[in-house]
């Protein structure tokens, strides 16, 4: 839910605006442009998810649990490229909000399976509607062919070829 700042805030912002810095050699670095694009998308995501108080990582965990009921924390950590301690903290936060529940595995007592709760499913449904709007703001910057090419290029980077 974006709102325009009050007029006095706009005036203060305009008065304090300085021209952007010359980025010099950074302008030729792929990593710099990926980082700047990430920051733009991250900020928009944070604004979009403000009402639900969900981070990108939390939403990713909820999506993976929704698509893979009974998944383990270790499998989530491996898929998202994070360590076990970080994943445990993420799952703990989602469980504290009653979005995810742990259940003992019938096949292996040492393993806990993760499932979305009713509240988790409802929150994920609302998050998906918000994410669709968030994604559309960026997708509409590209033609369908450009979007396909961009996604293919990004996948090439993180899949290593």
Tens-level pLDDT at each residue, the chain (161 residues): 444 445 555 455 555 667 789 889 998 999 999 999 999 999 999 999 999 999 999 999 999 999 999 999 999 999 999 999 999 999 999 999 999 999 998 888 788 999 999 999 999 999 999 999 999 999 999 999 999 999 999 999 988 86
Looking at residue 3, its pLDDT comes to 47
Q: Is 94 exposed, middle or buried (0-12, 13-18, 19+ CB in 10 A)?
A: buried
Domain ranges within the chain, ordered by starting residue: 30-159
Quickly count: other Cβ atoms within 10 Å of residue 114's Cβ: 24
CB distance 143 to 134 below 8 Å: no
Q: What is the DSSP letter of 110?
A: T
Helix, strand, or coil (residue 97): coil
Class of domain 30-159: mainly alpha
Max CA pair span of the chain:
64
Looking at residue 12, its pLDDT comes to 52
Q: Which residue has the tokens 């290593």?
A: 160
Looking at residue 15, its pLDDT comes to 53
- What is the rounded CA–CA span in Å between residue 91 and residue 117? 13
- What is the rounded CA–CA span in Å between residue 21 and residue 19? 6
Looking at residue 110, its pLDDT comes to 81
Which helix (DSSP H) or strand (DSSP E) does residue 18 occupy? Answer: none
Q: Read off the pTM.
A: 0.77
N residues, the chain: 161
Quickly count: other Cβ atoms within 10 Å of residue 128's Cβ: 13
CA 30, chain centre distance (Å): 21
């Amino acid at each position: 839910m974006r709102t325009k700042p009050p007029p006095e805030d706009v005036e203060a912002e305009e008065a304090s605006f300085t021209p952007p810095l010359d980025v010099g050699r950074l302008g030729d670095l792929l990593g710099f442009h990926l980082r700047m694009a990430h920051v733009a998308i991250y900020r928009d995501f944070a604004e979009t998810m403000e009402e639900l108080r969900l981070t990108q990582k939390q939403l990713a965990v909820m999506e993976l649990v929704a698509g893979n009921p009974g998944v383990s924390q270790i499998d989530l950590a491996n898929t998202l490229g994070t360590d076990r301690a970080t994943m445990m903290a993420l799952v703990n936060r989602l469980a504290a909000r009653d979005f995810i529940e742990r259940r003992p595995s019938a096949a292996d007592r040492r393993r806990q399976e993760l499932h979305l709760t009713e509240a988790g499913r409802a929150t994920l449904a609302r998050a998906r509607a918000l994410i669709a709007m968030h994604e559309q703001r960026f997708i509409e910057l590209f033609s369908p062919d450009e979007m396909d090419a961009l996604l293919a290029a990004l996948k090439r980077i993180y899949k290593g070829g």
